[in-house]
Amino acid sequence: MTALLTTKGLSRHFGGLRAVDNVDFSLEPGEIRAVIGPNGAGKTTFVSLVCGRYAPTSGSIVFDGEDITAMPAHLRVRRGIAYTFQITSVFANLSAYDNVALPVQRTLTDGRSRGAVRQGAMEALERVGLAGRAHEQAGTLAYGHQRLLEVAMGLALRPRLLILDEPTQGLSDGEIENFIALAREIARDATILLIEHNMPVVMALARRISVFNAGRILAEGSPAEIRANAAVQEAYLGTAQEAEA
């Protein structure tokens, strides 16, 4: 199968800090891939390079056969890459509906009617369970609901690659179960790249896991392979499981 996304020798340095250091990475269409690792491992910097928030110091990024290394972020969105941020970035003074209607409008090439925008926005809100809160001001929503609103904003772009940075942070146990079901449903139409610290969520969703440490990929494999990897246990899983306990 031809990869949807590949990086070769991808690096990003901030002064003497090698936040991402010579990363080779490949993601297949339709995959749910989890990226895990300790804080400061380079996970968010890596996905920021993929979506165009940062320019790489060196290396290349190819999406669906096209070199996008120098492509601006807004053009990557048009190619089908959507990213929800680690820190919630909704428009607090707008309604939940208006937050989602804005990205819907970007997907409409013809017939930018109110009806088409409303249908797209309400479909995205319905998928994340927020249709009943459509006209509430986004800034008044609970933090977990703001996280779900961000997912709805990403879905409204009809992405081919949806990058989710800690989407379950702030969600209740019931909302996490609903998110797992939602992610599986999204994966029928899109590829998901998931940064997540909640190990039960990672193990439930990911077919493969990439473990970052000190800006590099320490290990890759199935959930079972990662669970059994001694280096991963030492660098991350042991401390992550202790934190959850």
pLDDT of residue 237: 66
* Token pair in block for residue 24: 């080779």
Q: What is the pLDDT of residue 243?
A: 44
Strand duo 17-27 + 5-14: pairing: antiparallel
- Give pLDDT, residue 86: 52
| DSSP letter assigned to residue 171 | -
The model's pTM is 0.87
Q: What is the pLDDT of residues 91-124, one digit of tens each?
A: 899 999 999 998 888 777 654 577 888 999 999 9
Place of tokens 């996905």: 47
**What strand order describes the sheet that includes 208-213?**
81-84, 161-165, 191-195, 32-36, 208-213, 216-221
- Strand segments (E) across 48-96: 58-63, 66-67, 81-84
Confidence (pLDDT) at 242: 47
Could you state, in order of their start, the residue ranges of all structural domains in the chain? 94-157
Tell me how far apart the alpha carbons of residues 92 and 99 are, in angstroms, rounded to a whole number. Answer: 9
Which of the residues in the chain have pLDDT under 50?
A: 111, 242-245
Are 165 and 86 in contact by the 8 Å Cβ rule? The answer is yes
